[in-house]
Amino acid sequence: MFDFEKLEVYCKLKELNIKVLIRLKSNRQIDPYLSDQWKRATLSIALNLAEGSGRISSADKKHFYTIARSSVYECVAIVDILSETEEIDKGFAEDVYASYEEVSKMLLGLYRATTG
């Protein structure tokens, strides 16, 4: 097992990404550009977390955790737009918003706990 797979934030991200990817696959009403952007941004969170955990230096780790957290913000903006344009329902939007908020806090904690 790789180190990142042991992180609670990675487990939450994996669950969140599966939920988002299933919704994107099943909802063809979502603008294709925003659907693709959301897919890339949400996957970017987990991928940058994984890449950062594999880095040796604290500065490198923090850099990738920052990128991951920035991708969370991108996802939240997309969710807001899709919710306001009624391309996703409010309940789903609120659910993933809360998950992204929790992940953001966890990534910030991971960043702060990384010494150096």
Residue 86 is part of a domain; what is its CATH number? 1.20.1440.60
Predicted local confidence at residue 116, as pLDDT = 72
Q: Report how many domains make up the chain.
A: 1
Tell me the whole-structure pTM to 2 decimals.
Answer: 0.95
Q: Side chain identity at 87, as an amino acid letter?
A: E
The tens digit of pLDDT for each residue in 17-76 reads 999 999 999 998 999 999 999 999 999 999 999 999 999 999 999 999 999 999 999 999
Predicted local confidence at residue 13, as pLDDT = 98
Predicted local confidence at residue 12, as pLDDT = 98
Supply the range of the domain harboring residue 37: 3-113
Helix, strand and coil content of the chain, in percent to the nearest 5, comes to 85, 0, 15
Indicate if the pLDDT at residue 84 is higher than 90.
yes
Contact 75/45 with Cβ under 8 angstroms?
A: yes
